[in-house]
Amino acid sequence: MGRRYATTGAKVSAAGTTQLVLTSAATMRPRLYEVIWGSATAPADAALELALLRFTASGTGTGVTPKPFDPSDPASSCTAAENLTVEPSYALVTAMQEVGLNQQITWRWVTAPYEGIAMPAIAANGVGLKFITISAGTPTCQATFYHDE
Amino acid sequence: MGRKYNSEGQRLAPAAPPATILTLISAATIRPRIYEWVISCGKAPADQAVKFSMIRFTASSIAAVAVTPTPMDPNDPTCIATAQQNCNAGAGEPTYTDTLQTISLNQQATFRWASPIENAIILPATVDNGVGLQFTAVSGGTSQYQANFLHEE
């Protein structure tokens, strides 16, 4: 089993924008094995459609450093960003997951060990969590990615 | 396989976050692993949202209530790790470093995070280092929350 890392990111929701991305490198094949999502904004009855999508160029956002689950592990070889202002280059049919959620719920997706979403050993390729639609409002949403590498 | 323990703590949602509800503190002789934690609110239901973070610290709270971890097997000895609940905001907070999880939750929901032991959050074998569960944002209200950490050492 590889080393495990946690990456957190937040964004004010807006259709067609990306909340959090995890970007691979040429030296490894990271696997995203858990995602947690929720909103701490004052509760409102809004629905969001979210998707986990593969990309081939990582876009532009605020850099986030993946944190090791074991404090003795070295820094992650992956990079990450939250609150993207330039969208990644998503490949056409690459939704690894698409889920509809009410703003007031907390969603956790987790796989069996070793069965995460594998990313290629290619620089600037990775997976992003994107708001596809939102029915109303602009709640700030928080997400956590766990990956091993 | 190591010995397993449960630590339980409570705290009112702070009017001015951040503030910590529960911490687990390591020691020089062990590397505890948090493999499960649960957060919930047993007070009168209200429609509020709260953001929690699990964060590493390098110094524990100087103003908190001590909690004794309880062994899951009654034949096990006393836990080496220690715990704290109801840390005061501001000067009483642990010295936090890396955020490992961020969970946003409606007050009326109960959240349980559990992992295989090999995927657990590992604490260093360093005195006074550990992981805390902190209220980092609260939309309103000051209801009391309960948290449980289950760890192995």
Q: What is the ipTM score, two decimals? A: 0.83
Interface check A50 vs B, CB under 8 A: no
Interface check A74 vs B, CB under 8 A: no
pLDDT the model gives residue B88: 85
pLDDT the model gives residue A93: 63
Give tens-digit pLDDT for B1-58: 799 999 999 999 999 999 999 999 999 999 999 999 999 999 999 999 999 999 999 9
Query: Residue B78 phi/psi, 5° resolution?
Result: -60, 145
Measured between beta carbons, the chain B residues lying within 8 angstroms of A115 are none
Mutation target vs B (from A8, A31, A103; most B CBs, 10 A cutoff): A8
Interface check B117 vs A, CB under 8 A: no
pLDDT the model gives residue B1: 75
Give tens-digit pLDDT for B115-151: 999 889 999 999 999 999 999 999 999 999 999 999 9
Residue type, B96: Y
pLDDT the model gives residue A20: 98
State what percent of residues in chain B have pLDDT above 70.
Answer: 100
Structure token digits, residue B44: 């009168």
Distance CA A45, CA B28 (A): 48
pLDDT band at B91 (very low <50, low <70, confident <90, very high): confident
Contacts of A32 (CB under 8 A, 6+ apart): A22, A52, A116, A117, A119, A127, A145, A146, A147
Point out the residue among A43, A70, A110 whose CB comes nearest to the CB of B47: A43
Cβ contact B47–A41 (<8 Å): no
Cβ contact B122–A69 (<8 Å): yes
HEC per residue, B66-129: EECCEECCCCCCCCCCEEEECCCCHHHCCEEEEEEEEEEEECCCCEEEECCHHHCEECCCCCCC
User: Shortest Cα distance from A37 to chain B (angstroms)?
Assistant: 7
Rounded mean pLDDT of chain B?
95
B150 with B34: CB under 8 angstroms?
yes
How is B13-71 classified by DSSP, letter by letter?
PPSSS-EEEEEEE--TT---EEEEEEEEE-SS----EEEEEEEEEEE--SS-EEEPPEE
Which of A15-24, A25-34, B66-75, B85-94 bottoms out in mean pLDDT, i.e. has the lowest?
A: B85-94
Residue B89 has pLDDT above 80, yes or no: no
Regions of chain A with pLDDT less than 50: none
Block residue for tokens 């390729």: A125
B21 with B92: CB under 8 angstroms?
no
- Torsion angle of alpha carbons A70, A73, A74, A80, nearest 10°? -30
Point out the residue among B111, B113, B122 whose CB comes nearest to the CB of A71: B122
Instruction: State the DSSP H helix or E strand holding residue A50, giving kind and residue range, or none if neither.
Output: strand A47-55
